[in-house]
Structure 1
Amino acid sequence: MKKVNIGGVPEHFNLAWYLTLKEGEYKDEGINLRWHDYYGGTGAMCKALRNKDIDLAVILTEGIIKDIIDGNPSKIVQTFVQTPLIWGIHVGNDSPYKTVEDLKGTKAAISRYGSGSHLMAYINAENNNWDLEKDLDFEVIKDLDGAVKGLTEGTADYFMWEKFTTKPLVDDGTFRRIDNCPSPWPCFVIAVREDFIESNREDLETILRIINNTTSEFKDIPSIDKTIANRYKQQLDDVQEWLGITEWSQSLINKETVMKAQKELFALNIIPEIVDYEKLTFEL
């Protein structure tokens, strides 16, 4: 049986992977797919792809585009979630900051440099016409637990993370969410190491076929809202709101979207150049 390693964040977006694994759908096709949770998010998964710890990653679009341009030998083979990610802008509950404008020049908690929380801090700064040189400062906190510690102890001032994932921390009074910042493109893609594509194309196509069959019908799964609420400790009405605004994809991200993301990242000096669509993607 072929062993394949895949990484992703342990969040509700990836429940479809858990369901297909639980049903043994990959093993039925001779594939021993092993899921690995990456609490550190995109930056940690980029490193894992480079180190060959994983073969595939369900990863933020902007993060993997940046890392492929920086030399990660991987390709985007499909969009996974078509809709934007809604990033909540959070402060500690006792923080004096009330609005996004109050955060100008303060310190953003980020999981690591090159991560989604890092890149989206630039997007938020641009949205608010901040000086990208003077008004941004960063504190690396590794993961959500690190963000709780950083914002509570005051080593960082604000933290951007997917708003439904952090909602329980808002509900219990750990964080206050003062605004939202949607990503300007589809949020999650599936990226695969180039050497894995070359040597295991048939297995890759099988894995995508299985997951796509599930995501295409995900919202129709009986009581899926209750399953998500229980598994991820979220309020049912929050889950229902999230399901209402989230769409999965079963196709490759298009050229227009990739170029738009690159232009945005280039304008923010996050990437050094804009590269060809074919350098970033692979069509199966």
Structure 2
Amino acid sequence: MKTVRIIGVTEHFNLPWHLAIEEGAFEERGIDLVWTDIPEGTGKMSEMLQQNETDLAIILTEGIIKSISNGNPVKIVQEYVSSPLLWGIHVRQDSPHESISDLEKEEIAISRMGSGSHLMATVHAKKKGWDIDSLQFKIINNLDGALENFDKGSDAYFMWEHFTTKPWVDNGTLKRLGDFPTPWPCFVIAATQTFITQSGSLLNHILEVINTYTLEFKSIPSIDRTLANRYGQKLEDIRSWLSKTRWGQNQLRQETVDEVQIQLKHLNQIEEVMPASNFLLD
């Protein structure tokens, strides 16, 4: 049995992985796939990939492209979620802010520099025509850190996945002022160059298993109830999320890599636009 380390966020997108592990689908291929939740998100996962603390990661597209551009020896193996991520834009419930236009000069709470919450806040500000050079960020590590920051009366705003934060919007902890979808497929599977070189055949087996699960995921009986129960979501919210979400089984398109890089360069997050082959596993 070969041990393979994989990391991802603690969110409903990743249930296909957990089901496959629990049902022994990887073990049947001689693989002990060890999953670790990383609530800090993309920035932390990029660091773990670079330091060979994991073999694989389910990670935000823009985050890993930025990390690879900055020298992380990692490759994108394929898309994982092909649909956009819907980022909710949140303030504390008793905030005086009532619209997104109120937020132009406010501090932005992010998990860490280079994270999805950092990059998408910058993409959003650029789209709104705000001065991205004057943006100010406060690092809060994860969702719990954001909630603690708001509890102390912070006037910052915080961007995080819409349905993950919805329970706190529903219970009155957070106020959502709007949403901002990513303009590209949101999650990819990334692998370290070491793992690709040493365990290419294992990688193929892992992809065969997870692609089977994601192809069949929406047709699993009562999958909406399973998701709602496991992730503490309302059934109607899960059904809405499922209707918007598409899992992918193919490599990320070169045009998408180019588009993300162009955006990141405009935001001064990377120095140059490089060939897509620098990012994608052949």
Q: Distance in 2 between matches of 1:157 and 1:112?
A: 15
Using the TM superposition, give the Cα deviation of residue 156 of structure 1 relative to its aligned residue in structure 2, in angstroms.
5.1
Contact 2:16–2:210 (CA under 8 A) maintained in structure 1:
yes
Task: Give the match for residue 85 of structure 2.
Answer: 85
Task: Give the match for residue 204 of structure 1.
Answer: 203
Using the TM superposition, give the Cα deviation of residue 281 of structure 1 relative to its aligned residue in structure 2, in angstroms.
0.7
Using the TM superposition, give the Cα deviation of residue 152 of structure 1 relative to its aligned residue in structure 2, in angstroms.
2.1
| Superposition RMSD in Å | 0.8
Contact 1:150–1:156 (CA under 8 A) maintained in structure 2:
no
Q: Cα gap change, 1:278/1:224 in structure 2, threshold over 3 Å: closer, same or farther? A: same
1:48 aligns to 2:48 (yes or no): yes
Contact 1:139–1:156 (CA under 8 A) maintained in structure 2:
no
Task: Give the match for residue 175 of structure 1.
Answer: 174
Once the two structures are superposed, the pairs formed by residues 141-180 of structure 1 within 5 Å of their partners are 141-155=140-154, 157-180=156-179
Q: Distance in 1 between matches of 2:111 and 2:231?
A: 20
Using the TM superposition, give the Cα deviation of residue 51 of structure 1 relative to its aligned residue in structure 2, in angstroms.
1.4
1:225 aligns to 2:211 (yes or no): no
Displacement over 2 Å in runs of 4+: none
Tell me the amino acid that sits aligned with residue 144 of structure 1: L
Q: Cα gap change, 1:156/1:68 in structure 2, threshold over 3 Å: closer, same or farther? A: farther
1:112 aligns to 2:112 (yes or no): yes
Once the two structures are superposed, the pairs formed by residues 13-92 of structure 1 within 5 Å of their partners are 13-92=13-92
Q: Distance in 1 between matches of 2:226 and 2:58?
A: 21
Q: Which consecutive residues of structure 2, in runs of 5 or more, have no partner in the other structure?
A: none
SS at match of 2:175: strand
Q: Which consecutive residues of structure 1, in runs of 5 or more, have no partner in the other structure?
A: none
1:54-108 deviation digits (Å, cap 9, x = unpaired):
1000000000000011111100010000000000000000111111110011111
Contact 1:139–1:155 (CA under 8 A) maintained in structure 2:
no
SS at match of 2:21: helix
SS at match of 2:72: coil
Q: Structure 1 length as normaliser, TM-score?
A: 0.98
Task: Give the match for residue 95 of structure 1.
Answer: 95
Task: Give the match for residue 274 of structure 1.
Answer: 273
Task: Give the match for residue 139 of structure 2.
Answer: 140
Question: Size of the alignment, in residue pairs?
Answer: 282
